[in-house]
Amino acid sequence: MQLLEDHIRREGKVAAGNVLRVDGFLNHQIDVVLLTKLAEEFHARFSGEKVDKILTIEASGIGMACVAAQYFHCPVVFAKKSKTRNLSGEFYTTQVASFTHGIVNHVIVAKPYLNPEDRVLIIDDFLANGAALEGLIDLVQQAGATVVGAGIAVEKAFQPGGERIRAKGVRVESLARVKEMHEGEIVFC
Amino acid sequence: MQLLEDHIRREGKVAAGNVLRVDGFLNHQIDVVLLTKLAEEFHARFSGEKVDKILTIEASGIGMACVAAQYFHCPVVFAKKSKTRNLSGEFYTTQVASFTHGIVNHVIVAKPYLNPEDRVLIIDDFLANGAALEGLIDLVQQAGATVVGAGIAVEKAFQPGGERIRAKGVRVESLARVKEMHEGEIVFC
């Protein structure tokens, strides 16, 4: 998606450890006009699909998920990062290793908010090694619900997550796919 | 606001430790149609004010802030909870004690995203003891920016935060003000 690629080229910053910073418009300060355009594009790409629920993970996916939900006319559920390992049976739980922070998060969704009849679209800001997306897919599957697909703003296509998850048959739509990046240069697929 | 009070009466749950759970529509699963109505109401209440930026805190304020920003035509900044005490000079930092979790969070905003000329509306889902809101006000003031006011979904008016912050001259608009609550009964002001 040209508009998002332009934003990333203009304002994105390549930081140490293969980190792409988009803090100025996507995940610290949020350009809500841009979010609306991204949501329109997700809606266009998944227009043939019935979507009952959008699932994302706190924190930076929430804004995009809420704006997308205005187009899909469905609620949002955001998975929470929990410090507690031992939760009662009220939650679906999974583990997600954070690429950026080098830690493992326990990620949970309360059982009433994912149901077997739900057709779930997963929305997130980044896809790199795929840990967060695989965790969210796991939560949907634990509930016996259906993953319609994943709508991602920025995919770092030189990392293995996208390829691995598509190979499992999950439809992944990324609005900007970074082929390679170095300080001062970001190349898209 | 009648609509929000009705939601809280119907779906809110009073839990141990004076916790009001609104997980089903506000801060785990999110009813985006409701969010749109809350955003309209914030916009109506602050309609006389120039707002350049909406500030909230991760995670549960982000969705409401993004939908509100569609009405105010401004970006959102969300303050982040940081595990790191010692940050370089790139951030405004403050401390926020969490009522629900019994811990102190270091809360940060990168300096480029709050500027002296900004007129900032703070949006959050809850106001109880006021720690989060006071932390956000502190961040705005560190930047030399102006607090236009605070738009809160649910104020627990029997806790002291709202009164204390209003007494400092900050305009606080809460869409539902809980006067008292017990298991099975929630009374609004």
Extract the residue ranges of chain A whose pLDDT is less than 70: 83-88, 99-100
Please tell me the distance in Å from A60's CA to the nearest CA on chain B: 8
Supply the pLDDT for residue B86. 59
Alpha helices, DSSP H, located in B61-189: 62-72, 131-142, 161-167
pTM for the full predicted model: 0.95
Distance separating alpha carbons of residues B84 and B65, to the nearest angstrom: 25
Extract the residue ranges of chain B whose pLDDT is less than 50: none
Residues with Cβ within 8 Å of A86's Cβ and at least 6 positions away in sequence, in order, are none
Supply the pLDDT for residue B85. 63
Please tell me the distance in Å from A164's CA to the nearest CA on chain B: 29
Instruction: Burial-class residue A49 by CB neighbours within 10 Å (0-12, 13-18, 19+).
Output: middle
- Residue in B28, B58, B74 closest to A110 by CB: B28
Distance separating alpha carbons of residues A72 and A40, to the nearest angstrom: 10
Supply the pLDDT for residue B9. 96
Give the pair of three-digit tokens for residue A40.
């329109």
Interface confidence (ipTM) of the complex: 0.95
Supply the pLDDT for residue A122. 98
List, as ranges, residues 61-100 from A with C-beta within 8 Å of B: 62-63, 65-67, 69-70, 73-78, 80
List, as ranges, residues 150-189 from B with C-beta within 8 Å of A: none
Supply the pLDDT for residue A95. 93
